[in-house]
Structure 1
C-alpha cells in the first residue's frame, strides 16, 4: 500500500474539485454521499483546493461540514489542499506572505475538524523563488500545523530545487493516457530518484477517456473544457481515435474505457523506474465512484497493446 506523509493511502485517491467548482455544484447531500462512498471503497487520499470555488464556498467549507457530521472519518482521510493563489484570482503568488495567508485561511475554515496533511501551491509563482515558497510551507510543518509540503504542476528542475530545502511529500501533475508528458520530460525520473510519490490529476483526460463525450456538442457551453485546445472541433475527432482504441480493449476486458485508463496508471506505478503513482479521479455521484474504484487488472499483453496504441495515436492540442 502506498504511503504519503507516512500514512497508508489507497492505490486510487479522490479529487474533490467537481463538488464545489462548477456552474451548478451538486447538493451537500449528494456530495456527502460521494465522499462517503469514496472513503468506504478505499479512496482515502483526498485532494481539494482553496481555489475550488469561491473564497466563500470551496473545498474547505465542504470538508468542514462533512467532518462536522462524520468526525470519525477525519483520521481515515489523508487530505491535500492546493492554495497559494491571489485571493479570488487565478494568479499564483508564492510569496511568504501569501503562502502564510493561504495556509492560515485553510486552517481557519477547517476549524480543527480535519488535520491538513499536505499543503501545496497550485502553480509556481515566476516572481518568487521556489525555495521561498516551500520554505514558508515547511515552517508550518515544523510546528505541526501541516503534515507535509506538496508541489503542483512543476518541472523536474523545480522538484530538485525544492527537495534541497525540505522533504517533498508528493508532486501533483496531470498524467493519463491522454497526457503522458511526465514520462518524457524528467518529472517521473526526478520523483523516482527522490522517492516522491506522484499524484496524477485528470487521470481520465478530463472525462475524455470515459467515452462519455462523443463530440464537441456534448460539452456544455459553461464547461471550461469548451475552451481547451484538445476539445476543439478541428482536432476532436482525431483525438477521439485514442478513445476508440481504448474502448476496443475495454470491450475485450468486459470493463469500461475509464477503468482501463485508471488501471493503466496503476500499472505504471513503480514500473520501469517510475515512482509511486496515485490517480485521483473526481466524481460527483456514487455510481461513478464505484465504477472508478472497481479493480481491473491489465496483463502484459494488455499493456503491450496500450503501448502500441500510444505509439500510433498522436494527441493534438495543448493541455491548457
Structure 2
C-alpha cells in the first residue's frame, strides 16, 4: 500500500472537486454520504481545493462541516489542499503575499477541524519563480500549520528546481487513458528520480471514459466541460471512438469502464521506471464511489493490449482551453 505523510493510504484517493464545483451543487448531506463511502472503501487520501466552489461555499467549507459531524474521521484522512490562486481574477498567485493569504484563509475556513496534511500551489505563477513560492510555504511546514508541500501541473524542469528548495511530497498532474503526457514529457521520470508520488487527477477523463457521455447533450449547458477542447463538436465524435474501444475491452475483462481506467493508472506504479501513482477519481454519488474503488488486477498481456489500443488512437483536442493551458507547464 502506498504511503503519504507517514500514513498508509488506499491504492486510490478521492477527489472532492465535483462535490462543490458543478452546475448544481448537491446538498451537504448527499456529499457527506459520498465522502463517508469513500473512506469506508479505503480511499482515505482526499484532494480538495480553495478554488473548488465559491468563496462562501467551497470544498474547505464542506470539509469543515464534515469533520464537525464526524470528528473521528479527521485522523483517518490524509488531506491535500490546492491554493495560491487569486480567486477574484482566477489566476495563479505564487507571491509570498499570495501564499500567506491562501494558506491562512484555508486554515481559517477549516477552523482546526482537520489539519492540512499537504498544501500545493494549484498552478505555477509565471510571474514568480517557483523557488520564491516554495520558500514562502516552508515556514508553514516548520510551524506545523501544514504537513508538507506538493506540486501541481508542473514541468519536469520545475520538479528538479523544486526539490532543491524543500522536500516535495507529491505531484498532482493529469493522467488517464486519454491523457498520457506525463509518461513522455519527463514529469513521471522526474518524480521517479526524486521518489515523489504522482497524484493522478481526472483518471476517467472528466467523465468521458465512464461511457456515460454519448453526446454533448449528456453534458449540462453550464458545465465547465463544454469549454474543454476535447468535448467540442469537431473532436467529440472522434474521442468517442476510443471510449467505445475501451468499453469493449472492459466488458471482455468483466469490469466497468471506470474501473478499467482507474486500475490501469494505478498499475502503472513502479512499472517501466514510473513512480508511485495514486489516481484520485471524483464521484458525487455513493454507488459511483463504490464502483470506482474496486480495483481490477490487469495482467501484463492485458496492459499490453490496452497500450496497443492507445497507440492506434490519437486523441483529438487539447486538454484545456488556451487561457487555462497557459497555467499548466507540463
Within 5 A, what are the aligned runs for 1:133-144? Answer: 133-144=133-144
- Take 2:15 and 2:164, find their aligned partners in 1: how far apart are those partners? 29
Matched with 2:53 is 53
Matched with 2:283 is 283
Matched with 1:293 is 293
Q: How big is the shift at 1:178? A: 0.9
Q: How big is the shift at 1:295? A: 1.9
Q: Is the 8 A contact 1:54 1:88 kept in 2?
A: no
- Take 2:128 and 2:236, find their aligned partners in 1: how far apart are those partners? 37
Deviations 1:240-271 (A, max 9, x none): 12111111111111111111001100110111
Deviations 1:184-240 (A, max 9, x none): 000000000000000000000000000001112211110111111111111111111
Greater alpha carbon shift after TM alignment, 253-262 vs 74-83: 253-262
- Take 2:269 and 2:282, find their aligned partners in 1: how far apart are those partners? 19
- Take 1:293 and 1:196, find their aligned partners in 2: how far apart are those partners? 23
Q: Is the 8 A contact 1:18 1:282 kept in 2?
A: yes
Matched with 2:318 is 318
Number of equivalenced pairs: 320
Consecutive unaligned residues in structure 1, runs of 5 or more: none
- Take 1:159 and 1:315, find their aligned partners in 2: how far apart are those partners? 27
Consecutive unaligned residues in structure 2, runs of 5 or more: 321-330
Q: Tell me if 1:237 matches 2:240.
A: no
- Take 2:7 and 2:100, find their aligned partners in 1: how far apart are those partners? 25
- Take 1:218 and 1:112, find their aligned partners in 2: how far apart are those partners? 40
Matched with 2:323 is none
Within 5 A, what are the aligned runs for 1:121-132? Answer: 121-132=121-132
Matched with 2:147 is 147
Deviations 1:122-149 (A, max 9, x none): 1110000000111111110011110000
Q: Is the 8 A contact 1:176 1:265 kept in 2?
A: yes
TM score, norm. by length of structure 2: 0.96
| 4+ long deviations beyond 4 Å | none
Within 5 A, what are the aligned runs for 1:1-320? Answer: 1-320=1-320
Q: Is the 8 A contact 1:55 1:88 kept in 2?
A: no
TM score, norm. by length of structure 1: 0.99
Q: Is the 8 A contact 1:178 1:205 kept in 2?
A: yes
Q: How big is the shift at 1:26? A: 0.9
- Take 2:162 and 2:64, find their aligned partners in 1: how far apart are those partners? 30
Q: How big is the shift at 1:89? A: 3.1
- Take 1:270 and 1:154, find their aligned partners in 2: how far apart are those partners? 20
> Residue 207 of structure 1: SS of its match in structure 2?
helix
Q: Is the 8 A contact 1:173 1:201 kept in 2?
A: yes
